[in-house]
Amino acid sequence: MEEEYTLDDPTLLLQAASDFGHHPGVHSDASAKAFLHRFPLPVIINVLQTKADVPGVESTLVACLERIFCTKHGASLIPQYMVSCLLENFGENTIPAAQLIVEHDIYPLLLDCLINGNEQVATASMDAIKSLAGSFEGMEIIFPANDNEATHLRNLAARCSSLGRVRVLALVVKLFSVSSSVASLIHNSDLLNLLEAEVCNTDDTLVTLSVLELLYELAEIQHGTEFLPRTTLVQLLSSIIGNTSMESILRSRAMMISGRLLSKENIFKFIDESCVKTVISLIDGRLRSLESQDADECESALEALGQIGSSIHGAELLLLSSPPAARHVIDAAFDRQGRGRQLAALHALGNISGETRSENKIMLNNDAEESLQHLIYESASKSPKLTPSGLFLSVLQQDAEVRLAGYRVITGLVARPWCLMEICSKQEIVNIITGAHSETTKIGMEAKYNCCKAIHWVFMSSSKLTSDPALTGIAEKLQEAVRRGPYLARKLQEAQPLVMTADRF
């Protein structure tokens, strides 16, 4: 059992530090981690600050720390811990942390760790610089007024290796997420142009792919919708999607980034609708082309359209484009030729139908609603199932993942009276959705329950349906399933203890 260490008595720490510092040979990362698990770095630093008058404290602990920092694990703690310590522990009567960083030339060291350190060190340095960006003084260090400063991120990227440039760009993305004001500085410093320029450089596919992954992260940042449309990013992504000579994986990522960016409801405040229509047309074109038989690219295209369709405006554009891009989503959703393709299409249709939108934002404008109904009935008429209810039942009779996606589709679509009538016309659908034991996983039970609630709410809102004696059985099943909740049925399946009298001889 490990001895407990208390700050009041540094004896135990000093003995362990002496043993560690004088240990013959090179320490491993494992031994450094074990030592720091027992005596965390903040504790060691605290003892150095508060027990300096104890004989041997300084020399013993410094020797120990030197050995720790010679390991990769120890070195990775330097940038993040030291800067974080500075930022967290200065007060009104102390020298500001930013001033200490400038006076001791610490920031260039952090940048050097970023571009030249191993992955752990680079990550720690990035986190430290992000912490620094949390203060006004820190922002002045990271974004110098003089564009010619060697520490300016644009100049740093210009003199780096390809790996170093990717790390600098990763730092730009991390800083962009700090706040809208930092994002504004990054935009005004033309640092977003660095990402665009790197994507345009097709000499290194791995670097291009890495930068596309960073753009994917960037598109997720909420305040990014205010700044990204001011760049040529959307046009650049469009050129990648439409370039058939590029590798499929690059087109796939460009489609996914476009979908993520254009899924934001407020994006249409900052971007011209014609640009969105162009992106939709290009993605739809990839789906229609023979080359898009590539399964991964097909799934990426469907997922991208689904993301765009998660907003009301996006869904309406998909349904009202000419030809409607939503047609390929709907056809693929009920086509069992490719499972991954069908799954992606079902989830996309769930988004378009409004499953992810709030209750008052499910329905689209009249023209889009008419198009949605027409496309689903058209798809059904071309299939052996003939009716939408037949298509829904076919989906719910497949494996658990497909059923889950099917629940999402019905949850969104059932807000439409025509869909509710299709559901009520098939007793098998009602039995699956209200059945007690049709799902065994948590996510499946929750998806089915949400679907059941949506059907029940729409059903009970219709006086015509509730007053129809022929539908009384459906109403009772829906009410019972909603009352039962998502998990109660599963609990009833669990083994119950059996109590009986013992046999006597």
Provide the domain count of the chain.
2
pTM of the model: 0.77
Domain end point (choices 227, 242, 267): 227
The CA distance from 423 to 208, in Å, is 47
Asked whether residue 452 is assigned to any structural domain, the reply reads yes
Q: What percent of the chain has pLDDT over 70?
A: 89
Asked whether residue 42 is assigned to any structural domain, the reply reads no
Asked whether residue 171 is assigned to any structural domain, the reply reads yes
Give residue-wise pLDDT tens across range 148-197: 888 899 999 999 888 999 999 999 999 999 888 999 999 888 888 888 88
Using CA atoms, how far residue 215 sits from 51, 185, 448, in Å, is: 49, 18, 35
Asked whether residue 195 is assigned to any structural domain, the reply reads yes
Asked whether residue 453 is assigned to any structural domain, the reply reads yes
Amino acid 91: pLDDT: 47
Give residue-wise pLDDT tens across range 96-140: 556 667 766 778 888 888 888 778 778 888 888 888 888 888 888
Give residue-wise pLDDT tens across range 202-255: 777 888 889 899 988 888 888 887 888 778 888 889 999 988 888 888 899 999
The CA distance from 254 to 248, in Å, is 10
Range of the domain at 172: 147-227
Helices first, then strands: H and E counts in the chain: 31, 0
CA-closest candidate to residue 251, choices 279, 217, 214, 221? 279
8 A C-beta contact, residue 297 and residue 305: no
Asked whether residue 208 is assigned to any structural domain, the reply reads yes
pLDDT band, very low/low/confident/very high, at 90 (cuts 50, 70, 90): very low
Domain end point (choices 199, 227, 255): 227
Asked whether residue 242 is assigned to any structural domain, the reply reads no
Mean of the per-residue pLDDT values of the chain: 84
Asked whether residue 328 is assigned to any structural domain, the reply reads no
